[in-house]
Amino acid sequence: MRIKKGLTLLTAFTLVFSLLTVNVQAASTPFTQGGGYEQGAYDSLSMQPTGHNWNRNSRFAAVNSNVHLKWKYQMPSGGNSSIVLDEEGTIFTKNYEGPLYPKFNIHAINPDGTLKWEQPITDNLVYGTPVINNQKKLIIPAGSKLLTLDTIDGSVTELSLPTSYSNEVLIGNDGTLYLSGIAGRLAAYNPDGTLKWRSSFESTQHAGYPALSKQGALIFKAGYGSGGSLYSFNSQTGEKNWEYRGVVGSETRSAPAIAEDGTIYATSQDGYVYAINPDGTLKWKFTVEKSISATETIDPIVGPDGTIYAINGTKDFYAINPDGTLKWVYNSKAMYSSPIIDKNNLIYFGVGGKVVALDSNGEEQWSLDLRAANFVSAPAIAEDGTIYIADSSGAVFAIGGGVNPTDPTDPTVPPVDPKPPVNPVGERAIFVITLNNGTEKEYDLSMEEVQQFINWYEGRAAGAGPITFAINKHDNNKGPFKQRQDYIVFDKIITFEVNEY
C-alpha cells in the first residue's frame, strides 16, 4: 500500500486547516474572500472583516424562518458605511455629523443591540467602511490620516499621510495597505506605515472602491459624468496594467466583482453591466436601466454557481448568466447597497424599506418591512444567522429568526454527483473521512473518484461550488451504512486520508 506525495501534502494541509477550524470559538470556518480575490491579511476569525473586496458570499446561513426584528439601534445620522463583524459578533459601522464636530463617529454595537463604545473622529468625512486586519484592529482613512482603532475600547492611533485618501482600505496578503481617493490618488503602504509606492490615474473625481485579484491586480473605477474608466494596476509596483474606457460612475459604495476565472464585473451609470477579461478586453455587456447618479450605481456580486447579480440604483434586480444572457429579473424599487449571499445560496438585500430574501431562481422566500429609509449599508450575516443592515437615517437593524439546516436535496444547493461507473477500475484507494462529530467514514474508491472529491474540496475551500458532495458507496463500502450514497457537508469535515493501492 502506498500514498502519493501530492496527496500526502494535501492531507497535511487539511489537517492544519481542520486544527484552525476546531480552535475557532466564534466563527466555525475562516473568512475567505472568494476564488477570484487575493486572500488579504484581514482577521480570518472575524465573521465579516470587510465590507467589500470579496465576493460577498457569506460562510454562514442566514435566518430563513420566523423572521423578525430583534432590535434597532439608532445613530444620530447615517454614514454610508457597510457593516463589519468581529469574531465575537460585535457590529462596527459609522455615522456622519455633517459640518459639526465631531465630523463622524465609529460605533461598536454588542450583539444584543447595546452600545459597546463610540469613538468620535474630528477629521474629514471618509466614504469607506472600517475593516478588521489580522491584528484585530479597525483600519479606516480620515482625511490625511490613517486611523487604527482598538476593537475592545475604540482607542485610536494615527498615521499621518502626505495627502488624503477617502475610500475603504484594501489589505493585501502581506499586510500592504492600498489607498485610493480623489484627484487620481493611489498609493500602497507597508504594514509598518512606510510608503511602498505612489501612483496616479486620470481623474479629478473619486475613485470607486478597489478590489484585489488573486493575480495581484488592483481593480477599480474612476471618472465622472460621461467620462469614466475601469483600471487595473500592478499591486507590487503601482504601474498601470490597462484601462478600459466607458465605465461611468466612480463614486460607488461598492467594488468591482472578480469571478473565479478572473472575469471582472462592473456596473456603469449609463446603463450597462460590463464583463471584462483579465487582460482588459470586453467579454460582453448587458443592458440595464440608467442610474440617476454615480453614488447610486452599485457593482455586481457573483454567486457560487457563477451567476452575476446586478442592480443599478434605479429599479430591478438582475441575475445574469456567465455568458451575458438574462437568467431572471426581480422587479423592485431602487436599491442603494450591495446584496449578500448566504451559504445556502439565498440572496439578501434591502429595498424600499424592506429586507428581502430570494432563492437562486429569483423566487421571494420572505420579506420583512422595517419601514426604513434607503438602505445605504451593505448587509452582514453573523454566525447565528442574524442579518445586520443600516439605513440612511442612521438606524441599524438586527433581523433574527430560525436557521433551517441545509437540505442536500434542496435545488438551490445541488450536491456534486461524481457519476462513476458501476464497477470502477484502475488505481484505487481506501479513502477515510473524519467528521466533526467523531464519525469516521471509510470507502474503497477509484482514484478518479478521489480526485473528484479533492477538486470539489479545494474549490469549496476557496469559496466556490456547492457545500455538499455525493460519494457513491457501491457494494464495497466498509462502513455500517444503509444508503447507497453519502452526502458529505464541507463544514463537517475534520480531515480526510487517502491510502492508494
Percent of residues, the chain, with pLDDT higher than 70: 82
CB neighbours of residue 306 within 10 Å: 15
Q: Are 235 and 212 in contact (CB under 8 A)?
A: yes
Phi, psi of 196 (to 5 degrees): -95, -50
Contacts (Cβ under 8 Å, ≥6 apart) of 42: 31, 33, 49, 50, 131, 132, 133, 134, 171
Which of 244-248, 313-317, 339-343, 412-416 has the highest mean predicted lDDT (pLDDT)?
339-343
pLDDT of residue 101: 64
pLDDT of residue 327: 95
Claim: this prediction has a pTM higher than 0.85: no
Instruction: Read off the amino acid at residue 408.
Output: P
Is pLDDT above 60 for 119?
Answer: yes
pLDDT of residue 57: 96
Q: How confident is the model at residue 436 (pLDDT cuts 50, 70, 90)?
A: confident
pLDDT of residue 497: 84
Rounded to whole angstroms, how far apart are CA atoms 51 and 252?
Answer: 13
Maximum C-alpha span of the chain: 75
pLDDT of residue 291: 66
Q: How confident is the model at residue 345 (pLDDT cuts 50, 70, 90)?
A: very high
Q: How confident is the model at residue 33 (pLDDT cuts 50, 70, 90)?
A: very high
Which of 94-103, 332-341, 390-399 has the highest mean predicted lDDT (pLDDT)?
390-399
The more confidently predicted of residues 481 and 270 is 270
Q: Are 168 and 53 in contact (CB under 8 A)?
A: yes
The pLDDT of 295-310, averaged and rounded, is 88
Least trusted range by pLDDT, from 37-46, 209-218, 266-275? 266-275
The pLDDT of 338-361, averaged and rounded, is 94
Contacts (Cβ under 8 Å, ≥6 apart) of 195: 187, 188, 189
Query: Rounded to the nearest 5 degrees, what angle is found at the Cα of 101, between the Cα atoms of 99 and 102?
Result: 115
**Size (the chain), residues:** 501
Is pLDDT above 50 for 13?
Answer: no
**Grid cell digits, residue 337:** 447597497
Q: How confident is the model at residue 250 (pLDDT cuts 50, 70, 90)?
A: low
The pLDDT of 3-14, averaged and rounded, is 36
Round the average pLDDT of the chain to a whole number and report it.
83
Rounded to whole angstroms, how far apart are CA atoms 30 and 47?
Answer: 8
Torsion sign, CA atoms 384, 385, 386, 387:
positive
The pLDDT of 431-436, averaged and rounded, is 84
Is pLDDT above 60 for 487?
Answer: yes
Q: Are 65 and 286 in contact (CB under 8 A)?
A: no
Model pLDDT for residues 130-178, shown as the tens digit of each residue: 999 999 999 998 878 889 999 999 999 998 888 878 788 999 999 999 9
pLDDT of residue 490: 82
